[in-house]
Amino acid sequence: MPAPRDSYDSTRHPDLLAWLTERQTGFERWAHEAGGVTLFDFSNASLDALEDRVRETYTKTEEITQQRRTFFIQGAVWYIGEVLCRRKGWVWKFEPDFNTGEVPPFYGETEAPGLLDTPCVGAPEAGPGEHWYPLNTLRRLLAEDDEFGNPIDERLVGMVEGWYDEDEDQEDDEG
């Protein structure tokens, strides 16, 4: 369904709001099943525990993609995004397609290549394309190389602490 960018509020999409409510109310159950409620306290240690669980459970990015609608993956997506929201003051969003402006089905039945149909987080004033997709972060944990063929060996904590901070670091170095 086309929605003009200037009239679409990506923080108020009804499916996003329902999803956030489901994740928040299901967090304790998810945390218990993922390793223990007290373990998931939004700390770096909890991100390490989540990463370990993901690496123990999945071996290929495609597995995460195929299971992206499962309770565990949905909870992990919310957890990573929520860590970023709490640490950086970001907000949850469901963005329209960057090129077409169309709003895809939220977590559609099947994933269309190149279509981002999952929630993201970003600064409240972030423009199109300036968002972090937690589902892609989970996939990246299992990727062996990037789009240029360079090996990837990243940790979840490093991704959460390092992405989008490069400009701030450069400003600090220059100032």
Please state the domain extents for the chain. 14-174
Residue 115 pLDDT: 60
The predicted structure's pLDDT at residue 167: 46
Residue-level pLDDT at 2: 45
The pLDDT value given to residue 100: 80
Residue 34: predicted pLDDT: 92
Residue 41 confidence (pLDDT): 94
Q: Residue 151 has what pLDDT?
A: 87
pTM: 0.85
Q: What is the pLDDT of residue 6?
A: 61
In the predicted model, residues of the chain with pLDDT beneath 50 are 1-3, 164-175
Note the pLDDT of residue 113: 55
Give the per-residue pLDDT at 170.
Answer: 44
Q: Give the type of residue at 8.
A: Y
Pairing assessment for the beta strands 91-93 and 120-122 based on DSSP bridges: antiparallel
| Chain centroid, CA 18 distance in Å | 17
Report the C-alpha gap between 97 and 103 in whole angstroms.
6
Task: Let me know: does 2 contact 101? Beta carbons within 8 Å.
Answer: yes
